[in-house]
Structure 1
Amino acid sequence: MDQQPISALKNVNGTILHLGAGECRELESYLETAAELIVLVEPDPQIAQTLRLRSHAEPRVKVIEAAVSDQEGEGELHHYSVTGLATLHPLKVLPEKWPGLRKVHSTGVQTNDMAQLLDQVVLASDKQHWLVIETPGEEQQVFQAIRRHEAYQPFDYITLILSNLTPEVEQARPMLLEMFEEAGYRLENITTKTDQMAYHAKADIQWKEYQELKAECDKLKILNTELTQQLVNSEEAGSQGRLAHLERKLDLLFSEQRNYIQLTTNALGQHLTRCAQQQRDEQALAYYLEHGQHQPGIQLSPALAMALLELRDAQRYDSVVIFGSGPMTELFARAILQDQGSQRRLVRAGQEDEAGPSGYAAPFQSDLSPSILSVEHQQTLCDQLEKKLAAQDLKIVVNIVNSPWTECRYQDQSALFYSSEQMIGQLNQWLRAEGRSLVIVGEALARVQHSRAAALPLLLQHLEAMPKELDVVLEHAPYSQESTLLKQWNTLLDARQQAWQLLEMPDALGWRIKG
């Protein structure tokens, strides 16, 4: 699991529990969080010892040498020829994707059930905790232990990693994802690699409220039964006074019970509607991206990704500029290549006559890409993105620019932003007055506690040839340090007498500015 869900990394301040940690390539990311305790559970003695040596100077890290099983005792860990692949459940059929895969050896290991492991972990109610499940074949009993725990939703975030070592993985996947919902967790996003898929989920607050209302309804039903029996007994005894008293209590009880049932029904309906919408967004995004291929290894909110793709289909942008978001670049590049035959091209200002009857002219190789300009603040990020795009034949529609963060002045304030004056000047040469453009500002600045408030003022300052329509979207906004950003930008647009409107975007802020 190379990438972690941003929400978990940003918010966890309690315990991180990683079941089946292996070599734990994520340890550095865990240490960057505010987590008070990081528990790595690994059955292989050699790997567990390596983890202890790596973390001996980190008092927050605890290594437990054990395998997660359905019972305490001893078990046999089966190792395979690919480094790091081991399971308590020997594979009956080897995956076709790994034709050279074979069992190498077995190791006797100590086993603990999930309930015992939870007893060894502190899960304070006022902290946010994260569980990572990487236990091929034991996922079901882990979820069952979570549901039996004394506290509703003991973990605020859960990551479930399924690989080809998971027994009958294709058949098990729907059942395990259903257990997410049954345990009160809502799927946030999915990241993929060649040999595994990671499902990142967050605790659903309304699920807890629903469970409490359901428990209250169950109590009222029991009380109702008892009172009804008392009523029957009173009728048999012929006590009219007692009968009238019980009838009044029953009327009061039924009134209260109707209110509880209505609240429960509303909570359940909202929960099911949200889950259905989430599933629809994920399926639609997978269909848009895959077409017979695996979903690219990106980390995007499915709802936001689908909203942006639908916005792109409706607007048919002439150009897309993306600041600090490799995953968003990959998403748009794939979408553009899928309908490359019908996409609109940019025309150099003043060269409309050269375009001919077709209405557009192809750009020179030395100029910007006719489709996407992706801006990163470090050369290493540019190189990584270029390599990733090239591996998927997406580089042809993307021009990658290295633009370091520099201190910029705007509205008598200073803030970091991409040193993009030269780049925007180059882009101005290609924008047509009647064109449409999309600018997406990723999370890179916000993740390191910087506000992105400078983005719009600087864009408006340097985009002298405003397009017909300019859509600006801030991913996963606003962060805590951007609490006043919405008001600032609205005030700025009003002061410039720009015609504008807010775009309804899930998990993002968006504006449409008229040129």
Structure 2
Amino acid sequence: MHKEQHNSQIWPTTHMDTIVHLGAGRCRELDDYLAAKPARLLLVEADPQLAKMLQARTIDQPQVEVINRAVAAHTGPVTFHRYNLPDVGSLYQAAPGLLELFPGLKMVQELQMEAIDPATLLQSIHQQVEQRNQLIIDLPGEELPVLKALQQADQLHYFEQLQLHCGRQSLYEDGEPAATILQWLQDHGFELLLEDDSQDPDRPRWDLKRNKLQLDHRELKQQLAQLTKTRDEQTELLNEREDQVELLTNALDEQAKLAAEHKTQLEQANQAKVEQLKLANECQTLIEQLTKARDDQAKLAAEHKTQLEQANQAKSEQVKLANNRQSQIEQLTKARDEQVKLAAERKTQLEQANQAKSEQVKLA
């Protein structure tokens, strides 16, 4: 959003190193910028029509670069809202405050485009803190997010001079009023020099200058805070380490006690092992003795078996011989009996013969 105004200067107007105007619009300040003889002038505008007009106006100015891009805190797709007033276009829709200022304001077009973040945009400039660089921000609704993005990228302090175009109250949805943005800038090392509402009382221009002493003081304060934080962290870490040392000492004592117990258990185990080994040796000797006794018994049993078999065989032979003798005795007895019987018969016959002979003799 941009209003007709002259570029009231409270700084020297010549020999600027770099001038960057984000949201340049129709850039009515162009002649003042060129008069400052900057080594580089960067004009960035989201509206394609206005950017094309700027390119045509600066075609013979090699130090001027016109970029047709939307600038936002984060790179990505955005919607540019174009209204029936050419200087009020924004990435945000109009808030009630802006509609009260312009009752006939209407949106005429929504353009989809890719936004670029300011840190990426300014990478090619290679600014130095010692240079005289000026930043003009005219980004309705996106002022504070872009400033914060530059601060986070450590690029905001490269600008010695800063101009802010912003409504006293929030004129766009999600936007911040000027007081909030100015306070943030002052908190981050910029000194407010001038408020110019001669062209637009509702949306003035604020001129600020980088306050080196304030920045140095702020940096020292940050360093002190960081050192204090580091000291506190170191103290806390020391306390934690002392606690850890105590815990480790206790753990070490427990480990030593446990090691002593383990040593005693190990000695007992070794002693038991020796006793077990001795017992095992004794058992082995006993086993060997029992094995030998078993083998001797087995050998003796085998010998006894052999002897028994031989005895049984001899017994069988004796029985057989006895049976044979008994048979012979029976046969001899039978033969004897038959001989006795035969002898008896012969005796009888003889007696009969003798008797007969006697009778015959007697008869004769």
TM-score (normalised: structure 1): 0.42
The letter for the 1-side match of 2:221 is K
Indicate the SS of the match to 2:61.
coil
Contact 2:82 2:110 in 1 (8 A): yes
CA distance in 2, matches of 1:87, 1:236: 58
CA distance in 1, matches of 2:182, 2:221: 23
Match of 1:3 in 2: 6
Equivalent residue runs for 1:234-313 within 5 Å: none
Aligned length: 238
CA distance in 1, matches of 2:8, 2:162: 10
CA distance in 1, matches of 2:166, 2:142: 11
The structure with the largest strand share of the pair is 1
* Per-residue deviation, 1:227: 6.5
The letter for the 2-side match of 1:121 is I
The percentage of counterpart residues that share the same residue type is 26
Indicate the SS of the match to 1:7.
coil
Higher relative contact order (CA 8 A, sep 6+): 2
Contact 1:73 1:112 in 2 (8 A): yes
* Per-residue deviation, 1:178: 1.1
CA distance in 2, matches of 1:104, 1:152: 34
CA shift digits 1:451-489 (9 cap, x unpaired): xxxxxxxxxxxxxxxxxxxxxxxxxxxxxxxxxxxxxxx
CA distance in 2, matches of 1:180, 1:5: 21
Match of 1:79 in 2: 82
Match of 2:180 among 175, 181, 194: 175
Contact 2:82 2:108 in 1 (8 A): yes
Please say if 1:66 is aligned against 2:69.
Answer: yes
Match of 1:17 among 17, 20, 25: 20
Equivalent residue runs for 1:15-414 within 5 Å: 15-93=18-96, 94-150=98-154, 153-163=157-167, 166-167=171-172, 172-192=177-197, 193-194=199-200, 196-221=203-228, 222-223=230-231, 226=234
CA distance in 1, matches of 2:28, 2:90: 19
CA distance in 1, matches of 2:102, 2:240: 70
Question: 1:91 and 1:213, CA in 2 relative to 1: closer, same or farther beyond 3 A?
Answer: same
CA distance in 2, matches of 1:109, 1:236: 57
CA distance in 2, matches of 1:126, 1:166: 36
Indicate the SS of the match to 1:116.
helix
* Per-residue deviation, 1:210: 1.3
CA distance in 2, matches of 1:126, 1:214: 22
Structure showing greater radius of gyration is 2
* Per-residue deviation, 1:54: 1.0
Indicate the SS of the match to 1:96.
helix
* Per-residue deviation, 1:165: 8.1
Contact 2:14 2:35 in 1 (8 A): no
* Per-residue deviation, 1:147: 1.8
The letter for the 2-side match of 1:175 is T
The letter for the 1-side match of 2:44 is V
CA shift digits 1:30-54 (9 cap, x unpaired): 0011321110000111211211111
* Per-residue deviation, 1:19: 0.6
Question: 1:34 and 1:231, CA in 2 relative to 1: closer, same or farther beyond 3 A?
Answer: same
Contact 2:188 2:215 in 1 (8 A): no
CA distance in 2, matches of 1:11, 1:208: 25
Indicate the SS of the match to 1:115.
helix
* Per-residue deviation, 1:60: 0.9
* Per-residue deviation, 1:120: 3.3
Contact 1:15 1:122 in 2 (8 A): no
Question: 1:97 and 1:233, CA in 2 relative to 1: closer, same or farther beyond 3 A?
Answer: closer
CA distance in 2, matches of 1:36, 1:207: 28
Contact 2:133 2:161 in 1 (8 A): yes
Indicate the SS of the match to 1:87.
coil
Q: Which runs of 5+ in 2 are unaligned?
A: 246-364
TM-align CA RMSD: 3.0
The structure with the largest helix share of the pair is 2
* Per-residue deviation, 1:21: 0.3
TM-score (normalised: structure 2): 0.58
Match of 2:325 in 1: none
Contact 1:160 1:200 in 2 (8 A): yes
* Per-residue deviation, 1:207: 1.8
CA shift digits 1:77-124 (9 cap, x unpaired): 212222332111112435223222222222233311222222233312
* Per-residue deviation, 1:7: 3.1
Question: 1:9 and 1:61, CA in 2 relative to 1: closer, same or farther beyond 3 A?
Answer: farther
The letter for the 2-side match of 1:182 is D
